[in-house]
A and B are shown apart, each in its own frame.
Chain A
Amino acid sequence: MLYRENGQFKTSYRADQQVFPIAQDRLAIWLLIAFAAIGVPLLVDEYLFRAILIPFLILSLAALGLNILVGYCGQISLGTGAFMAVGAYAAYNFVVRIDGMPVLAALLLGGLCATVVGVLFGIPSLRIKGLYLAVATLAAQFFVDWAFLRIKWFTNYSSSGSVSVANPDVFGIPIDTPHAKYLFCLAFLVVFALAAKNLVRSHIGREWMAIRDMDVAAAVIGIRPVYAKLTAFAVSSFIVGVAGALWGFVHLGSWEPAAFSIDRSFQLLFMIIIGGLGSIMGSFFGAAFIVMLPVFLNQALPALGGLIGVNIDTATIAHAELMIFGALIVFFLIVEPHGLARLWSIGKEKMRLWPFPH
């Protein structure tokens, strides 16, 4: 009833091809962005900002980047953590080694370095596919871990191998409060999400999807696999690299290679599988699921125990958290193998017919 496109006539190609063709969608997304930018900072306390929202935004960004590679171009990558690390360490080196380097520029240059590394490790994708490619990108993970642990130059000869940065400031505005950090990350996320959405709707995006669906057929109709695969690696690594730099600069402040370990790569891969491969929306759902659910369970279980008068000890909570989390992943994958984003779009379809489904 509310969500229906009757009467919305499109009189130009432009109107027909916009990102959100339905007026209600457009309104909803504007409201959502406005709420995220204005409402959330007014409502939310510091804990939620620092411990949940900021990691959620940054990891959404990384998941978005990975989704371009895996979900749109079909190239499975286990090197996401590595590309994040490259972004973070490159940005760190730009800041330390060049006097007066603006942090914003350093973050983007960090992304560019990640692009270079990403393309380099993407070259094998021209010859190998599927799980074999996953193993090849795993090499990127191990190589980068090794490089940042062993090559002291990258960490500016820090004795413990851990690097730390001052709070960034952008155009003279210090990014030191949780609010500022949140808005800073949100701005990045909105810009990159919009860019990614438009990119996947463009000819490049269609090339990626053609390669994903069947690379031989795509080559036959004139798509160059080299170009399509390497651009996917480039765009994906750039976004992932910027996310890594944000993770280091904004969220952690000081980090060691363990912050971008193989676990991080798996975590991001799970995010997009659970959220929905080949869907921008899915990256957000997946990140929310993986970032927030464990923390939520960890806090809800003692409260639940308190309600029925049972004092659950810390170890039990930690075990239960892992078990419930695992069970939920299995549950969602059985209910909807195409990810949470698919559930979302089914919901939207139903809404369009509601309340007269027949």
Chain B
Amino acid sequence: MKLKSLAISALVVGGGLFGAAHDALAQAKEQFFPSLVYRTGAYAPNGVPFANGYVDYLKLVNAKGGINGVKVSWEECETGYATDRGVECYERLKGKNGGATVFQPLSTGITFALTDKAPGDKIPLITAGYGRSESTDGNVFKWNFPLTGTYWDAADILVQHVGKKEGGLDKLKGKKIALVYHDSPYGKEPIPLLEERAKQLGFQLQLLPVTHPGVEQKATWLQIRQSRPDYVFLWGWGVMNSTALKEAVATGYPRDKMYGVWWAAAEPDVKDVGDGAKGYHGLALQHGAEPNSKVVKEVLELVHAKGQGTGPKEEVGQVLYMRGLVAAMLSVEGVKRAQERYGKGKWVSGEQARWGYENLALDQKKLDALGFAGVMRPISTSCADHRGASNARIHTWDGNKWSFTSDWIEADQSIIKPMIKSAADKYAAEKKITRRTPEDCQS
């Protein structure tokens, strides 16, 4: 009897709560930025700083009076980097608080799943530095924005950089490059480009997949020890990166021959390895660690000093924190751009915000005003190019901090462009969608 009443009361309370939680609260029009995060699980060490940076920037926007007066609101939903939970979170948040402005899933798997859903819901997706490379083609991927660069750009920049080190791209002939990658769409993205480059430049490409979550890499590094590649490109995420570095130490593979993609080049990846990671290089997606930039000072002053900081103070300005900050800034700037067309100081819908992201024109003056001077380069997007920028720098871990060791390198679009076109066409054929007309581009 006791059990029964317990069960019944639990059901009643539960049902009530479910209703309460589920009813979207109708509020004054605030610009709503849902945030899909992973603060738990194997990828949390990297997910947390990004999530903190994202929210801190939104707090900063509110502290400075909102987007031309429109306050911003946000809500987090924990995905644990799992695609099905990510889709559930998307469905939960997309209609809340008047409708989501933009989603940034921070997972290539979730991006793939949401790419199918976004057009129906008319919500743009920003995948800054990840996601489908071919979604650069805005004529097919109307709602995807891989702002600041894609994996194909990243891979190409890395090839160019090691080419330069060898004394010219033609010197790569006969060399061997190993790609140690996370065995998921994320890790596989760069492969087509590297294969293309290998064919063109005549280097040998060795593919070494590492299964999720990447804590078991002994076999992989045994292969590296045997084949002795000239360079190792690391396409890892979360605990896989530090494990790879530890294995490299154990195998005796020189760290300064290792290059990580921008998701494998942050503090959490190298901190545990400490001195062992010295000399390890990574790509920097526009920015590196920027503790001295103006925007970081503003965050510390207007958010953290008031006790509203999301994470620990020390983390502000670190690589992944900055990436979250930049991601949030791009979200907000798109809305600002859309307001120029649809009414300044007015709330914009996801559909209107999409126009903003497609016509983003962040020049140096605007970036300086936002406090991003020196953090990133100007970005401008268009219908045909949803990416906006395709350059990056290399930074190197010196045992204490990341510092830049190369100049800006531009990805070679003569190779990437045809690849984007054919991949986008293939996607369009599979999905039975037609390319957008020039008139649609204007709208």
| Chain A interface residues (CB < 8 Å from chain B) | 46-47, 50-52, 55, 96, 149, 159-162, 164-166, 176, 252-256, 258-259, 295-296, 298-300, 302-304, 313-315, 317-319, 335
Contacts and interface: CB of A to CB of B under 8 A. Distances in A.
B21 A315 contact: no
Query: For chain B, what secondary structure do more than half of its interface residues adopt (helix, strand, loop), or is it mixed?
Result: helix
A300 B183 contact: no
Contacts of B48: 315
Nearest to B48: A315
B14 A300 contact: yes
10 contacts: A96-B430, A159-B188, A159-B423, A164-B115, A164-B431, A256-B109, A314-B37, A315-B44, A318-B40, A335-B3
A298 B22 CA distance: 11
Contacts of A302: 21
Nearest to A295: B88
Contacts of B116: 164, 252-254
A252 B40 CA distance: 23
Given A47-B92, A51-B87, A254-B116, A164 B76 contact: no
Q: Enumerate the 9 nearest inter-chain pairs by beta-carbon distance, A residue then B residue, closest first.
A: A315-B39, A253-B116, A303-B21, A51-B91, A160-B185, A299-B21, A300-B17, A318-B78, A51-B88
Contacts of A46: 91, 95
Interface string B1-37: 0010000000000100110111000000000000001
Nearest to A149: B183
B184 interface: yes
A262 B39 CA distance: 23
Contacts of B78: 298, 314-315, 317-318
A51 B92 contact: yes
A161 B115 CA distance: 16
A164 B112 contact: yes
Nearest to A161: B188
Contacts of A300: 14, 17-18, 21
Given A160-B132, A298-B78, 10 more contacts: A50-B87, A51-B88, A160-B112, A161-B185, A164-B430, A258-B212, A296-B14, A300-B18, A314-B37, A315-B48
Interface string B156-198: 0000000000000000000000000001110011011000000
A208 B108 CA distance: 43
B62 to A, nearest CB: 17
Contact of A296 (B18, B37, B95): B18
Contacts of A313: 39
Contacts of A164: 112, 115-116, 427, 430-431
A308 to B, nearest CB: 12
A55 B85 CA distance: 11
A304 B13 CA distance: 10
Range, interface on chain B: 35 or more
A166 B432 contact: yes
B217 interface: no
Interface in B84-104: 84, 87-88, 91-92, 95
B112 A55 contact: no
B80 interface: yes
Contacts, number: 107
A132 to B, nearest CB: 25
A256 B184 contact: yes
Contacts of A159: 188-189, 191-192, 423
B91 A47 contact: yes
Residue among A96, A259, A295, A318 having the largest count of chain B Cβ atoms under 10 Å: A318
Contact of A162 (B17, B117, B185, B191): B185
B113 A254 contact: yes
Nearest to B185: A160
Query: For chain A, what secondary structure do more than half of its interface residues adopt (helix, strand, loop), or is it mixed?
Result: helix
Interface of B: 3, 14, 17-18, 20-22, 37, 39-40, 44, 48, 51, 76-78, 80, 83-84, 87-88, 91-92, 95, 108-109, 112-113, 115-117, 120, 132, 183-185, 188-189, 191-192, 209, 212, 423, 427, 430-432
B188 A160 contact: yes
Nearest to B79: A318
A252 B22 CA distance: 23
A62 to B, nearest CB: 13
Contacts of A295: 88
B348 to A, nearest CB: 22
Contact of B22 (A47, A253, A335): A47
A254 B112 contact: yes
Residue among A149, A164, A256, A314 having the largest count of chain B Cβ atoms under 10 Å: A314
Nearest to B20: A303
B35 to A, nearest CB: 9
Contacts of B209: 149
Contacts of B112: 160, 162, 164, 254-256
Contacts of B431: 164-166
Contacts of B191: 159
Contacts of A161: 184-185, 188
B299 to A, nearest CB: 19
A50 B116 CA distance: 13
Nearest to B108: A160
Nearest to A259: B83
A317 B39 CA distance: 10
Nearest to A47: B91
Contacts of B39: 313-315, 318
Residue among A159, A259, A335 having the largest count of chain B Cβ atoms under 10 Å: A159
Contacts of A166: 430-432
A189 B431 CA distance: 26
Contacts of A303: 17, 20-21
Residue among B88, B108, B423 having the largest count of chain A Cβ atoms under 10 Å: B88
Given A256-B185, A299-B22, A303-B21, A314 B95 contact: no
Nearest to A317: B78
B322 to A, nearest CB: 21
A197 B5 CA distance: 33
Contacts of A160: 108, 112, 132, 185, 188-189
Contacts of B76: 314
Nearest to B76: A314
Contacts of B430: 96, 164-166
B184 A258 contact: yes
Nearest to A145: B211
B184 A314 contact: no
A303 B17 CA distance: 6
A337 to B, nearest CB: 15
